[in-house]
């Protein structure tokens, strides 16, 4: 959508040349995608953000009746979209899970960044730098709803991932979203 | 001259018959496929979203099944399970509680167990299913489908379409002749 074949020596402002010598939109440092949109599955965008955001009449979340907890953010991504690391770190684990599908975890200090529903299990290992491509988006374990589930947890005295401190991933992204879940354009 | 004219008429008639045959073939192909799709795919009933919360099994309401407690203490109402399978990975813990006629799969990804799936595969056992405060056996469930809220869906419908913007769905899967229930599936979206 934003790819521009260029015949000039320099790309327009806000764009960079990719490996095929096309000008592409410059990604914000710390965002997994060049184009950042919250997924609109689950009735509305805000249902795909961090917190007690999911409507569920059969659940209670932090004393809010009718809501379910969502530990991360679901970002819109067509199958096959390259995913970049939002932080420096090391590949901590890769694999497949019944709930998360194919995933990769990148550890950065005490923080564990989880990228889920990937197209395949990533084969990358070792040190990772911010904006380095680490995976390809998909729809594993979520048939029919291709998106990236991205979350961050902090090792807070426990080695058990389930019990780690769940943090709001939006605090770690460069792109911000307004109260309706729409993207606020950043100059980056 | 007349022979030529007759030949042309015969050819024209053959052409018309040929095209009629093709149209008839296409029509029959589409019609029979339509019947086929109906009879093979349309055997699942999605219970309407507003009725799901009224579902209970052996007196245990869905909200308690969804959130069974950290030690599964709310499941005591269901009696002793036949078997409990447990597996663990870095990301999640999974428990499968097997009872006579149904199976419950729980996962812990957020610090507490949550119901991922309930599969009722034998309605001839002693457990009690209630919907809208009415106890229903297999026959009553089949009758209920004819008159109550919900919809029949194609068999190949993706889970995302069944969730239809919500966090759960309850599906009743029927046999080919619509006379028996094969299984009942309740599914939750966890992440």
pLDDT in tens, A37-62: 999 887 788 999 999 998 887 788 88
Tell me how many domains chain B contains.
2
Evaluate whether A185 touches A43 at the Cβ level (below 8 Å). Answer: no
User: pLDDT digits over A59-93, tens only?
Assistant: 888 888 888 899 999 999 999 999 999 999 999 99
Q: In this structure, are B136 and B149 located in the same domain?
A: yes
Residues B130 and B70 in one domain: yes
**pLDDT tens-place string over residues B108-134:** 999 999 999 999 988 877 778 888 778
Residue B106 and residue B178 share a domain:
yes
> Are B101 and B168 part of one and the same domain?
yes
Please answer yes or no on whether A42 and B66 come within 8 Å at the CB atom.
Answer: no
Specify the DSSP element, H or E, that contains B159: helix B159-163
B121 and B178 fall within a common domain:
yes
For A32-174, which CATH superfamily applies? Glucose Permease (Domain IIA) (2.70.70.10)
Residue B133 belongs to what domain range? 42-188
Do residues B50 and B34 share a domain?
no
ipTM for the complex shown: 0.80
Closest listed residue to residue B64, CA positions, set B96, B91, B104:
B104
Worst-scoring range by mean pLDDT, A100-109, B38-47, B62-71?
B38-47
CB contact under 8 A, B189 and A54: yes
Rg of chain B's alpha carbons, rounded to an integer?
A: 26
Exposure on the CB side of residue A160, measured as CA atoms within 13 A: 10
Q: Which residues of B touch A46 (CB under 8 A)?
A: none
Over residues B58-86, the pLDDT tens digits come to: 889 888 999 999 999 999 989 999 999 99
CB pair distance less than 8 Å for B160 and A41: yes
pLDDT(A23) > 90: no
Whether A161 and B91 lie within 8 Å, measured CB to CB: yes
- B30 and B100 together in one domain: no
Q: Is the pLDDT of residue B36 over 50?
A: no
* Tokens encoding A83: 């995913």
Over residues B131-167, the pLDDT tens digits come to: 877 888 888 888 877 776 677 887 677 777 788 777 8
Cβ-contact B102, B121 below 8 angstroms: yes
| Residue predicted with more confidence, B3 or B155 | B155
Q: What is the pLDDT of residue A136?
A: 96
Question: How close is the nearest chain B Cα to the Cα of A1, in Å?
Answer: 26
Query: Closest Cα to residue B138, out of B129, B150, B147, B146?
Result: B129
Say if residue B103 is in the same domain as residue B143. yes
Whole-angstrom distance, CA of residue A101 vs CA of residue A141:
5
- Choosing among A46, A72, A105, A162, which should be mutated to test the B contact, i.e. which has the most B CBs within 10 A? A162
Distance CA B174, CA B43 (A): 5
Asked whether residue B52 falls in the same domain as residue B35, the answer is no
**All CATH 2.70.70.10 domain ranges in chain A, comma separated:** 32-174
Question: Does residue B86 sit in the same domain as residue B155?
Answer: yes
Examine the domain organization and report whether B127 and B75 are in the same domain: yes
Nearest to residue A75, comparing CAs of A22, A127, A114, A133?
A114
Side-chain-side CA neighbours of B56 within 13 Å: the count stands at 16
Residues B114 and B138 in one domain: yes
Mean pLDDT on A163-172: 95
Q: How many interchain CB pairs under 8 A, A with B?
A: 89
């Amino acid at each position: 959508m934003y790819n521009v074949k260029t015949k000039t020596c320099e790309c327009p402002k806000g764009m960079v040349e990719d490996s095929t010598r096309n000008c592409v939109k410059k990604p914000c440092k710390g965002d997994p995608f060049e184009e950042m949109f919250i997924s609109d599955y689950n009735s509305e965008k805000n249902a795909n953000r961090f917190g007690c955001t999911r409507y569920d009449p059969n659940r209670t979340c932090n004393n809010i009746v009718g809501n379910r907890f969502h530990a991360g953010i679901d970002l819109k991504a067509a199958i096959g979209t390259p995913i970049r690391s939002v932080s420096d770190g090391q590949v901590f684990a890769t694999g497949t899970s019944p709930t998360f599908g194919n995933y990769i975890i990148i550890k950065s200090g005490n923080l564990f960044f989880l990228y889920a529903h990937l197209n395949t299990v990533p084969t990358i290992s070792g040190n990772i730098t911010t904006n380095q491509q680490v995976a390809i988006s998909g729809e594993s374990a979520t048939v029919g709803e291709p998106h990236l589930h991205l979350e961050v947890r902090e090792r807070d005295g426990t080695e058990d991932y389930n019990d780690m401190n769940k943090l709001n991933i939006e605090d770690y992204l460069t792109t911000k979203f307004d109260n309706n879940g729409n993207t606020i354009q950043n100059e980056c | 001259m007349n022979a030529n004219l007759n030949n042309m008429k015969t050819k024209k008639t053959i052409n018309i018959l040929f095209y009629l045959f093709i149209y008839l073939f296409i029509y029959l192909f589409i019609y029979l496929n339509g019947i086929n799709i109906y009879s093979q795919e349309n055997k699942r009933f999605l219970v309407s979203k507003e009725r799901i919360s009224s579902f209970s099994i052996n007196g245990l309401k869905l909200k308690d099944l969804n959130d069974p407690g950290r030690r599964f203490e709310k499941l005591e109402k269901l009696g002793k399970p036949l078997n409990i399978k447990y597996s663990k990975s870095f990301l999640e813990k999974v428990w499968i509680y097997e009872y006579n006629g149904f199976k419950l799969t729980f996962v812990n990804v957020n610090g507490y167990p949550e119901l991922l799936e309930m599969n009722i595969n034998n309605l001839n056992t002693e457990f009690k299913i209630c919907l809208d405060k009415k106890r229903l056996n297999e026959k009553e469930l089949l009758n209920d489908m004819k008159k109550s809220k919900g919809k029949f869906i194609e068999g190949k419908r993706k889970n995302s379409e069944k969730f239809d913007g919500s966090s759960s769905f309850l599906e009743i899967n029927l046999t080919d002749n619509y006379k028996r229930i094969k299984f009942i599936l309740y599914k939750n979206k966890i992440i």
